[in-house]
Amino acid sequence: MAQTKEKLSPRELVLERIGFGGGDAFSWNKMQWYVAFANRDLTRLTPGDLLNLQEEIRAIAWQAFRSNRTNEPPTLSQIVQLKEAVHRVLYDLLRTTEATYGPVAVTLRVTNWEDFDDEGKWSTTTVRPIGGFEVTGRESKLYQDELMAHMFSLLWRWGLWLKQCPKCWTIFLQFRRHAKYCSRKCQSIAFMRNKRASERGESKSLQIRKKAGAKPKLKEKSHG
Ligand SMILES: [Zn+2]
């Protein structure tokens, strides 16, 4: 509603835009943000894209860690480094079923809370780092360490849903249990390719049979 939207801070509006609502039920969207970020081509950012990314990273760090810092937004080179770290972790996880990042100094908090998720099977306990990065003297990696810690807390839940498209090698979150491809586009390209290949295979075997003088199966059957 327009009335509630007026009450949202600029930071909350950014979070709303990228689907980061409150509560753990939205953690799919959050994992999705990291996957999309890992797939982004940062060499083609417009100034507007860069500004959006800076706002998003700041807002995510604020939401995940409630850190009320007024420091500078991440620079383009910090964003590039963050992307490389995210990308490497996701690919390592897919390739070797394991990934590490660190070391980082974090403060941990465990919370028992009511589950807003429809699927009751999920744990109602969340463990998440709540910052503490300031003490490490790694200010240049502040956003990077925070977002990486946040992503790891999401991977704890969504790591198994992470897949790589066999057609275009993009990494994606598997929405349906047996979805093999990243998109309908890749799925239909692969489908058409398989279909053509099997048609070629069939006509080839027909030619071979003709050359060998073998009778088609149907005729053989009517004789018998
Ligand atoms: Zn694909």
CB 14 within 8 Å of CB 56: yes
Tokens of 185: 């586009």
Cα 170 to ligand 1 centre (Å): 6
pLDDT of residue 203: 67
Cα 160 to ligand 1 centre (Å): 18
pLDDT of residue 218: 46
Mean pLDDT of the region 90-115: 81
pLDDT of residue 57: 94
Lowest mean pLDDT among 34-38, 64-68, 158-162: 64-68
Percentage of the chain modeled with pLDDT above 90: 40
Mean pLDDT of the region 116-135: 51
Across the chain, mean pLDDT equals 79
Cα 180 to ligand 1 centre (Å): 9
Q: Confidence band (pLDDT; 50, 70, 90) for 179?
A: confident
Asked whether the predicted pLDDT for residue 171 surpasses 60, the reply is yes
Q: Which residues surround ligand 1, an ion (CB under 5 A)?
A: 165, 167-168, 170, 182, 186
Residue 126 makes CB contacts below 8 A (sequence gap 6+) with 24, 110, 111, 113, 153
Lowest mean pLDDT among 34-48, 81-95, 98-112, 185-199: 98-112
Residue 81 makes CB contacts below 8 A (sequence gap 6+) with 141, 144
pLDDT of residue 6: 64
* 3 state DSSP class of 35: helix
Mean pLDDT of the region 24-33: 84
Asked whether the predicted pLDDT for residue 15 surpasses 50, the reply is yes
Asked whether the predicted pLDDT for residue 136 surpasses 70, the reply is no
Instruction: Report the alpha-carbon distance of residue 175 to residue 177 in Å, rounded.
Output: 7
Cα 191 to ligand 1 centre (Å): 12
